[in-house]
Chains A and B, each alone.
Chain A
């Protein structure tokens, strides 16, 4: 059937519900107009939302968008949803991995009005922010006070604290500071049934908001990376760390572009790394040398950040889509590389010492520092990272058509070998899309070293043309195959909640084992009416029965490729 000119019909909330919500937020902050809900329907990196848009599936259109301004308004909205059994999904930017809606008329709770920094406690080195505050805002305010939140996921404005909390929060200086989730002191959230939960020492009268433990059981862990299933976080208190740089990030020396010259490379060549910070790029002869060197650097206790960037260098450091594609194809950047960020947190002597250690390790592993005399053009091209790895400066560029599907297993460094081997098999199995990250096959995967190298992420991705459904489907295949691969080969879960997202939770009962059954029980306790982000982290039995058979079949096909039995 030709659906090209078929309109997509939006479902509406019952009037009773709409009016109740309107009474909470006021008419100005509730929208059910067709064009408004459209802008909350196609997500940026969720392949199935693209497919469903191409298929004109009405289920991806929310029924209504509501914008609370406080925890209390959020609570009132959630209570209405419980009273009328209306599914709701909390929303910040929509750059998420999960479907934004359900087959029933769904309410989007957009947190964009909750964008205040509540307080910065310099003495106790922490800050309390509302859910929609982003890294750029927090860093600007804390750096003035000689503090920061430990790093930046490049996209300082993209990443709102609420969604980072729901999805772990990955950044470039995790080697020293850990994920955002490791930096949470307390949260205030609205549970799926409408209760308000506050965690940590702030619950104890006059104790202050400085410690993650409070009276009663520690519920914070259940909420971390919960992808919105167990409630809506409205306020977060984060640890702050000492910042040794200037109050502000220096301007790009090339000046400021205008619309007519925006792609001129002179506007894209940042200055040297920030005061008191140093960034080193190293090239290795093969993946083994790179991994072994990275393990030693991570365990040596030096540096605040350690990452291998792989194909991402082409994305971040290119001015245009065409340039990105060409650099990927021509392998302009070294296949096996990593960068190391040193910072003199305590003294000038510290950085001197760390440099010595770094040079020794690189020498032992046959690595080569990129320098003025060795690949200066590559070093020059990589300059945007000078600041971007600390705080977004020249651009969190995607310069790619669509970020379709990622493999993001986590585990010890050694798992990088497993990841690359399996990714190579996937490439042979599925073929390439518009841009394919060959990380592991003949390039490094993106490696994020966390927690002094005790843990890592290994990311490989591909980027189809978003206007071509068949390409998106091919790309989606990688992701599903990846889930089967991680389980089969014991590569660890996908940390950014990927494998805790449906249909993977239920379709890979080997994880846990049977983690989905336990998670269902947890969900039932918090969400007796099954209205909070339904089907996102774990299906109820009823939701599982209603889940489309064709997607079940695709996942079972991928399980079969790994010799695993079908899940019915």
Chain B
């Protein structure tokens, strides 16, 4: 085994807080969980990387703080009942992974995993999550989606689109739509755009329709492992049974769950199909000449890396290649990008429980975007779009917000 191969160890979803004991004792307080890498710092204004520490300025909100809280809990120095405030510290984390990537790289430790293990412990013992999250979990359990929407409404976005129902007929490629794009009608455009682009590229496209269920990502991030694993096992069975060769997910949360989290469930069967994010798949269609860009769009834009897509799964280049393939588009980068990107503020259940803080984080991102001189910020995540969109609507800086597919639709001959 080389240094670079991970040690054989327990799967993430079977790890207990105590499994991180050595790691949490070894926190070096180096602060890289709160700051950009030195070489990436372009200005003092945008030098920090942890939204929660940036806002609240005390350590429990940072990755480092979670390591110390975890140590104290592991060692029995205090109980949850002595410290009811901890739940807020745990759930103001957007799970953006900035602390994790810097700490993994620099100290070989894992503060985000520790925070997720803390959340799981709190949920298991009834000390968490936040009350707002309980409604979300209830909705997922009752309706198979976090939006308290009836299952029958799940495929409304797809009316009139020639997408196969894989429960009735075979298809090569399955579009895993995700709950937010399926139920939030302000997000339908993204699901519709994605489907139209795939169809235009000649893809034999199917979907689960009303049978699609939540990927489990929201409950996994909140720390309800039991509900997550139930959903994941159902999804693995459903997706494998569909017989598709490829799965395309648009939502980075779904994409991470299917490609990464399902593998971290002990003894679970694996997804047989190859899983793509829509930006990867569309980029492939463009490279292969199956999607031919005919129009032009004169626009200066900047790309916001969704955390689950970029930092978590390493998809930085595909969306940028797509933008650069559109004639007339000028892509200008923000100071904090890719692995050092600043979160939109909406992830990890923060938007559900701490809307004001989520919005402040989004404002900070939009200020950074505005500094580039771009007229629009482009992304590819329903949660980023919701959170940045709400913040943008209250700002008066003339910027626009687009999903990546919005721009592509404009330059392809698609109705």
A interface list, Cβ under 8 A from B: 4-8, 29, 31, 33-36, 38-45, 50, 53, 56, 65, 67, 93-95, 110, 112-113, 116-117, 133-141, 152, 155-158, 248-252, 255-265, 267, 318-323, 326, 387, 391-399, 401-403, 465-467
Q: A139 contacts which chain B residues (CB < 8 A)?
A: 38, 41
Main secondary structure of the interface of A (DSSP, over half): loop
| 8 A–B contacts from the bound complex (CB under 8 Å) | A5-B76, A6-B76, A35-B89, A135-B38, A139-B41, A257-B314, A393-B39, A467-B21
User: Bound complex: CA of A117 vs CA of B28, how far in Å?
Assistant: 26
Given the contacts A36-B85, A262-B105, A326 and B3 also touching, CB distance less than 8 Å: yes
B154 interface hit (Cβ, 8 Å): no
- Name which of A29, A140, A263 has the most chain B CB atoms within 10 A of its CB: A140
Hey, what's the 0/1 contact readout for B160-189 against A, CB within 8 Å counting as 1? 000000000000000000000000000000
User: Bound complex: CA of A258 vs CA of B311, how far in Å?
Assistant: 5
Q: Is B78's CB under 8 angstroms from A140's CB?
A: no
Task: Select one of B44, B97, B315 contacting A140, CB under 8 A.
Answer: B44
User: Bound complex: CA of A259 vs CA of B260, how far in Å?
Assistant: 11
Q: Is B107's CB under 8 angstroms from A397's CB?
A: yes
Given the contacts A113-B57, A141-B44, A35 and B39 also touching, CB distance less than 8 Å: no
Q: Is B39's CB under 8 angstroms from A467's CB?
A: no
User: Bound complex: CA of A252 vs CA of B28, how far in Å?
Assistant: 24
Task: Select one of A6, A140, A259, A466 contacting B42, CB under 8 A.
Answer: A140
Q: B78 contacts which chain A residues (CB < 8 A)?
A: 7-8, 34-35, 38
- How many Å from the CB of B305 to the closest CB on chain A? 10
Q: Which residue of A lies closest to B86 (CB)?
A: A35
Hey, what's the 0/1 contact readout for B313-330 against A, CB within 8 Å counting as 1? 111100000000000000
CB-CB nearest 3 A-B residue pairs: A392-B38, A258-B314, A156-B38
8 A Cβ contacts from B336-374 to A:
338-340
Q: B76 contacts which chain A residues (CB < 8 A)?
A: 4-7
- How many Å from the CB of B274 to the closest CB on chain A? 16
- Name which of A113, A262, A326, A399 has the most chain B CB atoms within 10 A of its CB: A262
Given the contacts A35-B60, A40-B59, A110-B57, A260 and B104 also touching, CB distance less than 8 Å: no
User: Bound complex: CA of A41 vs CA of B25, how far in Å?
Assistant: 12
Q: Which residue of A lies closest to B35 (CB)?
A: A157
User: Bound complex: CA of A251 vs CA of B42, how far in Å?
Assistant: 12
Given the contacts A397-B106, A397-B107, A398-B28, A67 and B82 also touching, CB distance less than 8 Å: no
Given contacts A44-B29, A139-B38, 8 further A-B contacts (CB under 8 A): A112-B58, A252-B39, A256-B314, A257-B314, A258-B316, A264-B4, A318-B3, A319-B4
Q: A393 contacts which chain B residues (CB < 8 A)?
A: 37-39
- How many Å from the CB of A485 to the closest CB on chain B? 26
Q: Which residue of B lies closest to A140 (CB)?
A: B41
User: Bound complex: CA of A267 vs CA of B85, how far in Å?
Assistant: 38
User: Bound complex: CA of A34 vs CA of B39, how far in Å?
Assistant: 36
Q: Is A35's CB under 8 angstroms from B85's CB?
A: yes
- How many Å from the CB of A91 to the closest CB on chain B? 10
User: Bound complex: CA of A53 vs CA of B104, how far in Å?
Assistant: 25
B65 interface hit (Cβ, 8 Å): yes
Q: Is A157's CB under 8 angstroms from B69's CB?
A: no
Q: Which residue of B lies closest to A112 (CB)?
A: B57
Q: Is A141's CB under 8 angstroms from B43's CB?
A: yes
Q: A134 contacts which chain B residues (CB < 8 A)?
A: 35, 47
Q: B77 contacts which chain A residues (CB < 8 A)?
A: 7-8, 38, 53, 56
Q: Which residue of B lies closest to A401 (CB)?
A: B26
Q: A259 contacts which chain B residues (CB < 8 A)?
A: 97, 100-101, 104, 311-314
Q: Which residue of A lies closest to B43 (CB)?
A: A140
User: Bound complex: CA of A269 vs CA of B93, how far in Å?
Assistant: 31
B108 interface hit (Cβ, 8 Å): yes
Q: Is B68's CB under 8 angstroms from A110's CB?
A: no
8 A Cβ contacts from B56-95 to A:
57-60, 64-65, 68-69, 71-72, 75-79, 82-83, 85-86, 89
Q: A155 contacts which chain B residues (CB < 8 A)?
A: 30-31, 38
User: Bound complex: CA of A137 vs CA of B48, how far in Å?
Assistant: 9
Task: Select one of B28, B75, B312 contacting A4, CB under 8 A.
Answer: B75
B145 interface hit (Cβ, 8 Å): no
User: Bound complex: CA of A360 vs CA of B42, how far in Å?
Assistant: 39
Given the contacts A391-B39, A467-B21, A322 and B3 also touching, CB distance less than 8 Å: yes
Given the contacts A38-B72, A140-B47, A398-B28, A31 and B35 also touching, CB distance less than 8 Å: no
Q: Is B44's CB under 8 angstroms from A157's CB?
A: no
Task: Select one of B68, B79, B108 contacting A320, CB under 8 A.
Answer: B108
Q: Which residue of A lies closest to B53 (CB)?
A: A112
